[in-house]
Structure 1
Amino acid sequence: MPTTKHNKHSHLTTPSNYIVGIGASAGSLEALEQFFEPSPPHSGMTFVVIQHLSPLFKSYMKELLSKTTIPIKQLEEGMPVDPDCIYLAPPRTLIEVTDGLFHVKQFIEIPNHAVETGKVDTMLAPDKMSARLISLIRVKQNMDLTYDIAEHSGDVDQSEKEIMDDICALIERKSGIAFGDYKPNSLFRRIENRVFMHNLPFNTLLDYKEYIIRHPEELIEPQNDLLINVTEFFRDKEEFEGLATQVITNLIQQKVEAGEKSVRVWTAGCSTGEEAYIVAMLFAEYLERKPELDIGVKIFATDLDREALAKASKGSYTKQDLKNVSGKRMQQFFDVNGDHYRVKKSLREMIIFAPHNITKDYPFVNLDLITCRNMLIYFQGKLQQKVLSMFHFALQPEGYLFLGPSESLGKLVDWFQPVNSKWKQFNKKEIDKQNVMNTMKMEKTKDINITNQDKRALPYMSPSPHLNLVYETLLMEYTSPCIIVNELNQVIVSAGSIHHFMKVPNGHMTTNILKMVPASLSVAISSALKKSRTEHKEVNYQQINMEIASEKRRVDLTVKPFMLSNIAGAGFSIIMIDEVKEEVGHNESEEMIPYDLESQVHQLINDLENEVNYTKDCLQATIEQLETSNEEYQSINEELIATNEELQSSNEELQSVNEELVNVNEEHEKKIQELIEVTDDFDNLFSSTNIATVFLDEGLRVKRYTPAVTRLIHLLPVDIGRPLAHFSHQLHYTNLIDDAKKVLLERRKKQIEISSKDGNWYKVSYHPYRTKENHIKGVVITFVDMTERKQQTENMLVQSYALEQSPSSILLANEKGEVNYVNQSFEAYTGVERHDILGKSIFSLYEDEAKKQLHLAWDRVNRGLRWDGTLSFTDGSNNQKWEKVTFMPIFNEKQRILQFLRMAEDITEKHQTDELLRKSEMLSALGEMAAGIAHEIRNPLTALKGFLQLMQAERTGNEKYLDIMAGEFDRIELIINELLVLARPHAIKYEKKNPTLIVRDVLLLLETQALMNNIVIEDDVDHSLPLISCVEKELKQVFINILKNAMEAMPSGGKISVSTKIKSRNIQIIFKDQGKGIPEEWLEKMGEPFYTTKEKGTGLGLMVSYKIIENHMGKMEFESKVDVGTTVTLSLPIAE
């Protein structure tokens, strides 16, 4: 897309630079390299490479293309457009150029294939494109099309304007399309583009005119380039919604009020049919909402471009074409057909597609709506007025006109009433009929200024008929329905409501009047035409019986010659048909002939038989004359062909020899220069590269090599041409030659890693040597030193093994805390398998207080600091564990945090040991204290108890209070005894006992107390339990303490279950009640000295129980839920 400047004299100057857009997919690197390889560094072109990549995928295109000599830049917003540069556009962006600067916008969809757009001018291999672009630029720079666009309406040389007008006139005479009234800038751009893209052999506008005169076939091609087909579905959605809500709604309401049942619409310049289908959709949607309406819609969609009409008639579009169509409309009006969408039959039947030249052909009539959007903008003012006047003539009174957003009514603004000025919707206003006809008049095709020699080169072009004058006369002089036919009885022009008497015949299309009217009327018209033409006078028939819409009707027929002073010998006849109204009496004039069908049929048959006989005689004579003439012409033609072939052959031979000599000379010079450049390139490449490379021919003989290869293979410059097998090498590899043969045979590349005798490692790559013709002419072997990379790989592997096999529990997480690595020690330690934690948050490993501490640690390491501490967690077996944890960030060489490292050491056993030690020390201190307290209290308590017994013996009348005091003394003595249990480090004698019997004795002891408190004790104790080593009395004390606590927790009664089971060489005795339960925060304090959950409790009973079970090498555990109950589990080891 060149940036050009125009001035009055040169008109087309050399562009500042040319922008070449290149679409590139993810796998197009090789094609791009082929494209840029032959491109010179100073071509004046700017290349923009648009890559079809995911925005999440990093492009390495800049690095991969860096070998080209043209500078490469990553395109950014606001960058200037510099020539001789390659710009890489970001993925999924739209690039625009304004005022010499790039602008980047977001863009999602791009075509899957450029060919599908139908806009491709040339398809070439990538390595051929650069030369083609340079050739186009040279043609563009050499052109001197002396036609100034910018100043066309001002100071322009008249001869230049006449040249352009002549070109348009030539195209019009050949194609019937008048481009003379198109805006000159549009015409010039398209002619210039045709010259530019097709490399046509001329330099000036006059040269082009002379060229198309000498090459008539060129008159066909430009019309396709000059026709403009730019349209899409719902391009201006708001305007079409306005058409539906205002115009279509009002139009159908008017039809309903008038009692009419049909709507006629004309879509002028419909191109590929999108606009016609939009209008059809809007009518269909409205009628679907009003099912009670019986109104038909017929849309006439016309255009000059027959190829566009063919596509419109097919009604097949791609998903990209329908991007603006809503999903509801897609489902309602389209069927899926492969990768295309086809218009449904019901919608297609509403539209008639037909070719129509709006500048020459007469318009449709009696129309209710005309849509003509974005077509008038390409016409000059005079043609715009003519077309708008046609629309005015074609519309019904108060009919609607819908124009494009950039179009206006111009000087005809008073002919239409605005419905919505913003959306360019108008109503027809009634004006003087003659004024409309004058504006509609067609102009005579311009005479062309050409020489006699050029005239001989022009093809035959038939003159256009003088229908304008015929139609004007018909409209001005006749009010009854009438038809003009020529001497072949073909309908030329019609006016009035003649559709009641005529219809389009089935099968092959014809305009013969005798085949378009009912049979009864056909005979009458045939007879009247013959009589009128024979006698050169008016013929009138009356009371002709015929059927119209299944009703018997009678009509009067008048046929007379149609003569115009300006048209001599045209052979036209006018037919007028008047329907006879039954209620009105008919006054027969003396000139009226009563119509007798039978006599007219007989007369017509006789006349036709005579004509047939005469025609047969004439035909036979003509055939004989043609046979004689044909033989003569054939003989002359054969002689001319022979002579022409001889001349053409001689001319071609001379021209061929001359061209071959010139081409051979140019090719030799070019090849010599290319060989010099290639040789220089190779020499520089070989001297600058450090990659060892050797080129072998088909016989595996050395063709070229880089200096670096001599470190591995002992080659000298004189060894060129010798087989590679003759040379020794420094590699621990014996298949060097065999692999080269294999690659040459299989035509596939091969790579292998091998070591050399000096301890280095090399990646050896074999590639087939391919020519441009894709022939394999040898092998290329490269040796890339990968010693350092291999060492780094091995070091990384060792580090990876060390990390994986480390005894420490190691975890790596990203900045979001998502785990992306754990080692095998982590799995063994936590009981969590690797696949269950990867991708999850590190915070899922911890709960409650530990999670709070982890948040503090995470905040610290995110600030680049280290954190050390102790955390607890529950492993996969639901066991609580304690760990010493270190969290620290991992930095790269730029001190940027990459990952976060967690290293943990299991300290569960140490924590448990410390906890036991703490409790043991507490109990020891408590025992010493308890012994002192017991000693100090027992002596005075004994004395007090003795005095109390004496008082009881005396019977003073205070026995009640004395009994209370005695009970309290007993309770104090019990506390002293329990304290002494903790304090006395006496030797314990353990005996092997059956735990079942001990439990049964306790249950029997407490059975009565349980029944009194409405409590049921459920015995589920196993009778076959193994023996345990124990002190029976102490165990009974523990069991009684647990059961009494359970009873006190159920003041309203309930159930206590006692069960046993064996687990891991331990007997478990389980007590489960239905009491009020213990809150979770109290459970941790159970067993601590003087801690109790009861109002009058001392806490010593449970503490003593803990001490007894601990002395028996056992374990006491509590589980409780508030308002559900408490479970106490005692674990005691089985006796040896």
Structure 2
Amino acid sequence: TDPPFLKQDLITCRNLLVYLQPEAQRKILSTLHFALRLDGYLFLGKSESLGSLASLFHPVNVPLNVFRNIEQANSHQMLIENDWVGDRSEIKAMSGAPQRSADRQQDSRFYENTLLMEYVPTTLFVNRQGEVLYTHGNTYPFIMFPRGRLSYGLKSMLNEQEYTLIKSGMLRAQQAQQAIEYQSVSLLRGPESLQADICIRSLRQPELDEDVFLLEFRLAKEISRELVQVQSSDFNQEQLTAMRLEIQQKNQELSSLREKLETSNEELQAANEELLASNEELQSTNEELQSVNEELYTVNSELEAKLRALAELNNDLNNFLNSTQIGLIFLDKSLNIRRFTPSIRQVFNLYESDLGRSIMHFTMRFEQKFDLLAIADQVLREGRSYEQEVRVEQDQEYILKILPYVTLENSSEGVVMSLVNVTELNQVRRQAHRLDLRYQAIFDNIPDFVALTDLDGQVQLLNQRFEPNVAISALGKPVANLFGGQQQDYLNAMEQAIAAQSAVSISSCLDIRTQLLHFSHRICPLPGIGDDQAEIIFLSRDITAERQAEQRLRLALDELKRTNAYLDSFVYAAAHDLRAPVANLISILERMQRKPELTQEPMFPLLERSVRSLDQTLGGLIEIIDVQKMSGQAAREVDLNQLLDQILLSYPDLQSGQIGKLERRLEVRCVWFIEPYLHSILQNLIDNAVKYRHPSRVLQLEVSTVRAPDGMIVLTVSDNGMGVPPLLAKKKLFRAFQRYHKQVEGKGIGLYLVKTLVEKNGGQVDVMAAPDGGTRFVLGMKEYEQQNIQTHDS
């Protein structure tokens, strides 16, 4: 029952409450709360909790069960709950009164309760705010509890005058420290009034934090005790007095609070100054620690950077040693193995466990016999390197090099033995030597003149095709001295070849005393390798004989052109001259047909066929010559759709649909071509389809065009006519004056003209059987170039 310590900053109670009952835990926690100052800390065990007092604390760290006090403890409540003020029985026990048994204590409680009920008047305990704390006896009709929501305030249980009277009495009792009695106070209870005597006492105990007032209610009669009596008729005066006392009391409380605030402020200022001093010390210490931390961080960063650099260097060295194809052995002064690369195992059978062993313990597989240890010892003593090409078993060739292992202090601490495999390099060298011999043989025995010059056109090397005296005298001289012409022309061609990185062709003439020599040059750039300068190769050929043959051929060609022109004019004139006699013969045959006796002659049909054949042949020759005369015309953009409409005007039965119809599928509608050529091609193909249509089928004629991936125009003309055998079509169909269906009249030159006109510009013609039994002509036509066309038009 001893009171606790007060205003503690930290209380630790760990792993104790778990062994106590809940009621004991509550009392201990209440005591600890009372002992803590506001914002003090309570530290409990992990298995313990605050229970019903959790609202008085704020959790700071839930896992560690650290709490902060957020509500000031009530000292009066603590005195009552913890029995720090003893009751009468305890006082009597302390004065030496004998202890009672449990039965006698129950009897005594019964007697006391009986006396209280019979002789103690109606009593209320209220606080300064007028709230009812405890009642005894029957309060009715002195006070009336309000209806509805329950309230323990006297203001809601009394009218305004009654409440003002009691409030004034409470202030007077507190100030006078004696009982205040109001006699014959009229209490209105419904339609009737009740006369009552009211006695007010102030109960103040040093242990309690607040004042408690005792209110006694009796029916009106005299009181024998010595009391301060106030008449109920002095209501206004009492009200003013109550207000005055209340104001005075408030002023006193404000003064007390002001003094407390000033004291607290001074304490806080002192504490603040202490905290500022401590803070300055902490800041100074923090700055020192931060400075030390920065220095440590800098040193740590430098160490980490050096460690990373060292690790990278170590990794680079390990990767270099593991990936290199050079075998290395690092030996110390005693010729013990310190480190080696994997490639050395091709010569020495070394393993990681051999580190530290002497190189003398291992067998060397060199074909040559030499003292490797003596050489290594000599290199170590003299500090000079040793190099030799050695041969190992299985035809492997190496370059053995032994160097002293020199430290930063320029002292020899061992030797480094390296073995470089040069087997492939030597093979490449030998192959290069063989190729050099081959190319030298080709260079010297090629029938062309080969000259090697620098970029200024000065001769550097000549092959054996030149005469020895010419080759010697031409070295270092301009290449024009060898082949004639202007040196600048050769330099310009060399610049073109270097810029295009490809060969350039030129020609030149060399005038000697007896004849004029012609040369054709192929100038090829030879790029430099490394520090070598680029060079130029001249491949020159004597084309004097070719030029002479070309001149003779040109003269023969001119003579042939004159002859062909003469023959063309002769054939054209002869064909026109023969047209009149043939026409006369046809007229005579027509007159003879009118006389039956003449037509019955056996020779008459033969004569008629011969004359008709001669007439067709002459017509075909004239048509061929007319087409050849069109070769000088210019090409232009031709609309195939319009051209077909123009051709159909010559076939009214086809145009009207009486004998069939023409279907067009023109993906390419306009082509660059010589229009008379294209007109002749389409008219001959359509004419053949009309003449050789099948007698039992309606003619179905289709003309289509597409563009091939190579740019050619594919023109297809298909019909369902009589058709031709494919083998015959491939061999004879496109020859002049060749006909398959002789029951129909024709000249036999239409398809010949089609093939000639298509192939004239690099095209081709093909024929095949159509799916419906007719014929399909496929023409691959190459368009004329527009540039040439524009030039011709200009």
TM-score range, shorter chain: under 0.3
Asked which structure has the greater RCO (Cα within 8 Å, sep 6+), the reply is 2
Larger radius of gyration: 2
TM, length-normalised to structure 2: 0.27
